[in-house]
Amino acid sequence: MKKTLDEILYLVEKPARYIGGEVNSVMKDDLETKVRVGFGFPDVYEVAMSHLGMQILYGLQNTIEGVYCERVFSPWTDMESQMRENDIELFTLETKTPIKELDLLSFTLQYELSYTNILNMLDLGNIPFRSKDRTEGDPIIFAGGPCAYNPEPIAEIMDLFVLGEGEEVNVELIELYKTHKQNGFARKDFLEAAAKIEGIYVPSLYEVTYNDDQTIASFGPIHENASPTVTKRIVQDMDNVYYPENFLVPFIDIVHDRAVLEVFRGCTAGCRFCQAGMIYRPIREKSVDTILNLAKKMIESTGYDEVALSSLSTMDYSQIEKLIYKMIEDSEKDKIGISLPSLRLDSFSVEVLEEIQKVRKTGLTFAPEAGTQRLRDVINKGVTEENIFNTLEQVFTEGWNRVKLYFMMGLPTETYEDLDGINEIGNRTTHLYKTIQSPKKKGGVTVTISTACFVPKPFTPFQWQKQDAMETFIEKQKYLREIITNKKVKFNYHEAQSSYLEAVFARGDRRLNEVLIKAYELGCKFDGWQEHFSYDKWMEAFEICDIDSMFYTSRERTLEEIFPWDFIDVGVKKKFLWREWEHALNGEVTPDCRNNCVACGITQVFNSGGFC
Ligand code: SF4
């Protein structure tokens, strides 16, 4: 006899992942609901619930009259087995509605290796994988998020994509749906109408052809409503844009269990490997008053005792010291901790750090990214050895003794000298700690060196660059393992095989849809989780589909090549990225453009105000 949902919850590891009902989750009256929306996150609850975009869009979409937005996350494998065994379809967390009954279901694309989880969720919901196979009774399936800036590898799966920041465009899309539903909904008409909204890409309205050498010959619209260029959406006014005061508070531990306050969007540092630094331009800040006001309300509504100040580089917030002093003043009596998720080595302010330390002290993370100045110049990471060691000296003097240092391997022009440089930074750091004379010093030092394998991303100056071969990555990892002999330095690294697959999909084209579906059919899911990732199954899928995965990773591109993402206008222009690529190869640095514009192109598209 089949079990019910209530019964299977007793049989899974963490039932709280599936029950909903958390503080600040939204329940609505059925009668008032005209449009039912699902916010899908293709990973397990603990990851999904830590995502700021989920908190924003869940809250925002529930403010729209007549709309009910519920959450849909990937069930962990134990739950999935129970659901399949007992014929339970994937359901929303709030009302346990099968996802097939929703009107719209969105997915946020944070990581290329979560794509098979989207297929798994559709499969569990009995929804056809491909847009062309879905019929009037199926929900509209769409996606947004950073990976949507190259939508092509999942273009046949999505009915549409939302490009850029979601606060305005998602509302416009849902309102359009509402109107179509009132007037007798027809899927095709809705998609054609949606294509007219700025920032919306409907893949079925575009056609792509290929050259004999497999590169793209042409890419363009085949319907009058579809524009040859889709321009990303940005929010202009960060003080008045919706921000959730009522964060959802989970019953169980999640990856980041705290209130998160976004202080600004965009970045002007110009690191050449960083996609976020290019696609989220221009810089737009919230005012100190807005942030303080939100912090107060969030603490009241959630009971959290920690607020993370979030952005791409929070120390670059123009009012950072004022903000921190005010926050400390407001929160000290309640022992509210303030955390800064990542710190830049150049703009580091020890004064700010001291203020935070008064309340709570945690480990610190820095990202020099490369082991030598030469390579840091190539990637335009504007930090010097002096910056690094001055900062470390100050934090050690203040009593910190745990630091994590992030690096990338396989950056353009990298040599073994650059890897030696990583080891030297580790050794110099532990040596520096020994020399520190400070009453605040406690115990020994722990330095963790983490290396990731470099993945060239669209809309960066390195989008033309090939990725290191997997054997090269493995050799380099082995080399670092051998040379890092300092007992106070821990070394860890990211597996090369998953970075390879990430690189294939990051710059992939429409032909990868077939491979993705085949890989899922072969059993791939939770590819971002090492224990589930099967490189062999993926390679089998490429073979069955007769597609050479190395086409996407192992060749340098020419300036003339048409990229699958060229039709998207992110503001920053291709000619600027090419210029930066040439500067990189010459080891020439481009300073932070905050004080000296280097004409990336963003102002030609957006009258952005702010620093531009
Ligand atoms: S327009 Fe100028 S200042 Fe603004 S992000 Fe681009 S380069 Fe920087």
The predicted pLDDT at position 608 comes to: 54
For tokens 């899928």, name the residue. 541
Nearest CA to ligand 1 atom 4: 612
Compute the C-alpha angle 364/365/367, nearest 5°: 150
Evaluate: CB of 583 within 6 angstroms of ligand 1. Answer: no
| Percentage of residues of the chain with pLDDT beyond 90 | 83
Ligand 1 atom at shortest distance from the alpha carbon of 598: 7
Q: Distance between CA 65 and CA 275 in Å, rounded?
A: 35
Q: Distance between CA 152 and CA 168 in Å, rounded?
A: 23
Compute the C-alpha angle 199/201/205, nearest 5°: 145
Using the mean position of ligand 1's atoms as its centre, give its distance from the Cα of residue 541 in Å.
42
Using the mean position of ligand 1's atoms as its centre, give its distance from the Cα of residue 105 in Å.
35
SS3 call for 108: strand
Ligand 1 atom at shortest distance from the alpha carbon of 270: 8
- How confident is the model over 193-212, as a mean pLDDT? 98
SS3 call for 369: strand
pLDDT tens per residue, range 520-557:
999 999 999 999 999 999 999 999 999 999 999 999 99
Best CA proximity match to 452, nearest among 504, 391, 509, 411: 411
Evaluate: CB of 268 within 6 angstroms of ligand 1. Answer: yes
Nearest CA to ligand 1 atom 2: 597
- Residue 1 or residue 289, greater confidence: 289
The predicted pLDDT at position 343 comes to: 67
SS3 call for 264: strand
The predicted pLDDT at position 399 comes to: 86
Q: Which of 597, 604, 605, 607 to mutate to test the pocket of ligand 1 (most atoms within 8 A of CB)?
A: 597
Using the mean position of ligand 1's atoms as its centre, give its distance from the Cα of residue 391 in Å.
28
pTM value > 0.85 = yes
Radius of gyration of the chain measured on its C-alpha atoms: 24
Residue 326 has pLDDT above 70, yes or no: yes
Dihedral-angle region of residue 303 (phi above 0 means left; psi in -120 to 50 means alpha; beta otherwise): left
Q: Distance between CA 178 and CA 195 in Å, rounded?
A: 16
Residue 441 has pLDDT above 90, yes or no: no
For tokens 């009012």, name the residue. 319
Confidence band of 327 (pLDDT split at 50, 70, 90)? confident
Question: 21: how many CB neighbours lie within 10 A of its CB?
Answer: 10
Q: Catalogue the E-assigned strands of 440-498.
A: 446-453, 489-493
Q: Distance between CA 108 and CA 106 in Å, rounded?
A: 7
Using the mean position of ligand 1's atoms as its centre, give its distance from the Cα of residue 568 in Å.
19
Question: 490: how many CB neighbours lie within 10 A of its CB?
Answer: 14
Most confident of 31-40, 45-54, 441-450: 45-54
Dihedral over Cα of 385, 386, 387, 388: its sign: positive
Using the mean position of ligand 1's atoms as its centre, give its distance from the Cα of residue 377 in Å.
19
- How confident is the model over 32-52, as a mean pLDDT? 96
Evaluate: CB of 591 within 6 angstroms of ligand 1. Answer: no
Q: Distance between CA 588 and CA 591 in Å, rounded?
A: 10
The tokens of 481 are what?
A: 């393992």
Ligand 1 atom at shortest distance from the alpha carbon of 593: 8
C-alpha 265: how far from chain center: 14
| Percentage of residues of the chain with pLDDT beyond 70 | 95
Looking at 147-156, 189-198, 345-354, 448-457, which range is the least confident one?
345-354
Mean pLDDT of the chain: 94
The predicted pLDDT at position 595 comes to: 81
Using the mean position of ligand 1's atoms as its centre, give its distance from the Cα of residue 612 in Å.
5
The tokens of 197 are what?
A: 């909204």
The predicted pLDDT at position 2 comes to: 87
Best CA proximity match to 54, nearest among 29, 79, 34, 73: 73
Evaluate: CB of 612 within 6 angstroms of ligand 1. Answer: yes
Burial of 323-349, coded b for 16+ CB within 10 Å and e otherwise, reads bbebbbeebeeeebbbbbeebbbbbbe
Q: Which of 234, 264, 268 to mutate to test the pocket of ligand 1 (most atoms within 8 A of CB)?
A: 268
Evaluate: CB of 603 within 6 angstroms of ligand 1. Answer: yes
The predicted pLDDT at position 358 comes to: 57
Nearest CA to ligand 1 atom 6: 600
The predicted pLDDT at position 365 comes to: 83
> Can you give the length of the chain in residues?
612
Evaluate: CB of 282 within 6 angstroms of ligand 1. Answer: yes
The predicted pLDDT at position 331 comes to: 73
The tokens of 527 are what?
A: 């590819």
pLDDT tens per residue, range 2-41:
899 999 999 999 999 999 999 999 999 877 789 999 999 9
Residues 50, 71 contacting (CB under 8 angstroms):
no
Using the mean position of ligand 1's atoms as its centre, give its distance from the Cα of residue 122 in Å.
41
Residue 492 has pLDDT above 80, yes or no: yes
pLDDT tens per residue, range 372-430:
999 999 999 988 889 889 989 988 988 889 999 999 999 999 999 999 999 999 999 99
For tokens 């531009």, name the residue. 612
pLDDT tens per residue, range 234-263:
999 999 999 999 999 999 999 988 899 999
Dihedral over Cα of 385, 391, 396, 402: its sign: negative
